[in-house]
Structure 1
C-alpha cells in the first residue's frame, strides 16, 4: 500500500470521537479475488474499549496491534469480517430487565440463576416465561451463567461504533482491495446474550447463521482478534469449530491473535483453560502478530 500506516491510524486518537477520514485520493488499489485468508474482528467497538461502558483492560493496545497487523498483511488478507454487538436497553442481560424482592435493579456483574428466580430473589419485568426458560436452558446446556452487564453498545450511540482509527483502516482496506468489509450484526434478540457471531447461547428454534458459516468455510486460514477474549471471541471460536465439525469441514486453521484480544477481569484463568482444550481438539493456534507468518 502506498499510504503510510500513520496516515491512516493516529495513536493519539484511539478511543476518541473523530469523524475525519484520511485523504486517500492518491491510494493505488490492488484488488484480489482469492479466498485464502479471512480476518475476523470481534466487537472492536467503543464501549468495549478502556473508557467505554464495558471497557476491557488493554483494549487500546489490542486495537493498535490489530490495525497494524491488517496494514502489514493487507496484500495477503482476502476478506475482513467485523462483528457489531448491538443492543437495546431492555434486554435480558441489562439491569432494566430485572428487579429483586425490594424492587431494585441489579448492579452490573450480578449473576442471576434459575434458582434465584424460583426463590423470588430476582424477577423479570418482561417476557417472564421466556426469561425463566432461558435461564433454565442456559444452565442445563452448560453455557455461561447469566451476567448482568452495564448498558453497552446501545443502537445508534458512539459506544456501538467501531473504534474510529480502526474504522479508518477498514475504509482504506475497502478502497485498496476494491471490496467491502463484511459487517456481522448480533445482539438485538432481547432473550439472548449472543456472545458468539454464529448463534445465540440458547434459542427454541435454530438461529445458526448458516450463511456466515458457509462463507467462512471458503477460507483456509481464519485470523481472529477482538473483545473480549473471555466472552465474545471465545464463544465465536467455539461456535465456528463445533459447527464446522458438524459438516465434516476440517480444511482450515484458526489463528487467535493473543496480542489483539484481552479477557474481562476475573475470567482470565478459566478462559486460558478453555482455549487450551479447544486447541488440543481443533485446528486452532494461539499466536501473536509478530509470530504469525503467511
Structure 2
C-alpha cells in the first residue's frame, strides 16, 4: 500500500448537541473528550492522511423525537421514554405519522435485539447550531486542513425520519425503498484504503459502538486495522451496557484500544 495512505482518523458525531455542555443531548464527559482529540490532531497532524467526521442530522419529526408521538391525551412523551411495539398496539403511544410503518419498525427493531426504541431530546436538527461540529474539534480540523493542505470529509446520517441511524454505514432498520438507509459500501471502501483507522467520537454506547459493529459485520478484514481511542469517547449516562458486547467482540476480532494522550504517531 502507498505510504500516503497510512493513517485515517474516523470521528463519529462530534457535534455541538452531544459535545458541548449546553448541547441538547450532552454526553457527560464529551467536552473533555474533544479537548483530548484536538490535542491528538495537533500532535499527530502531519501523520494523518485523512480525517472523516460523521454528522448525525435529523428533522424535527423523527421517530426518536418527542414530536413524532402522542399519548391518548395528545401529549408527547418526555425525553428518555422507551416505547415498545406492545405499547403502541395497546394505544398507550400513537405515532403521528405512518402508523403501520412505525409499528412495523418497532417490531423489527425488537426482533433485532440490539437497542430498545428510545425517545431522545430533540437534537442535531438539520441546519442548526446543534448539528454543527463542536467548536474545539472544528477548530482543530480547520487548522489541520490548512497546515497539511488537505480537506477533511463529512458524512451525514439520520435524515430518514422512520429509523434510528446510530451507525454511519446503515440505518438501524434499513428501508429497501430508501437507498440512504442501506449499507454505505463506498464509505467502507474509503476506510479500506488505510492501514490504520483511528476511531473516536460520541456516544461510545450508541453511535460509535454501532458504527464499529457495522465495520466488523460488513468488512471484518478491517478489524486488525482499527484502533479505538477510548479516551476520546463517552457513554450516554447509564446506558454503557448497550455498547459493551460490541467492544468485547471487537477485542476478540483484533481491534486495538489506546489512549490518545499516550500516542505519538
TM-score, normalisation: structure 2: 0.93
Larger radius of gyration: 1
Q: Equivalent residue for 2:239?
A: 267
Q: Secondary structure at the match of 1:224?
A: strand
Deviation per CA, 1:213-245, whole angstroms, max 9, x where unpaired?
111111111111111000111001101111103
Q: 1:142 Cα shift?
A: 1.6
Give the CA deviation at 1:107: 0.4
Structure 2 matches for 1:120-269, cutoff 5 A?
120-205=91-176, 207-245=182-220, 249-250=221-222, 252-269=224-241
Match of 2:14 among 37, 44, 48: 44
Measured in 1, the distance between the counterparts of 2:116 and 2:240 equals 16
Is this contact kept in 2: 1:47–1:153, CA < 8 A? yes
Q: In 2, distance between residues paired with 1:233 and 1:283? A: 17
What TM-score, normalized to structure 1?
Answer: 0.84
* RMSD, matched Cα: 1.7
Unaligned ranges ≥5, structure 1: 1-31
Bigger mean CA deviation after superposition, 121-130 or 200-209: 200-209
- Aligned to 1:38, the other structure's residue is in SS state strand
> What displacement does 1:113 show?
0.8
Alpha-carbon separation, structure 2, partners of 1:93 and 1:84: 16
Name the one with the larger helix percent: 2
The structure-2 alpha-carbon separation of the partners of 1:120 and 1:224, relative to structure 1 and needing over 3 Å to count, comes to same
Q: How many residues align?
A: 259
The match for 1:63 among 12, 23, 34 is 34
d(CA) in 2 for partners of 1:143, 1:117: 19
Cα distance in structure 2, aligned partners of 1:145 and 1:160 = 24
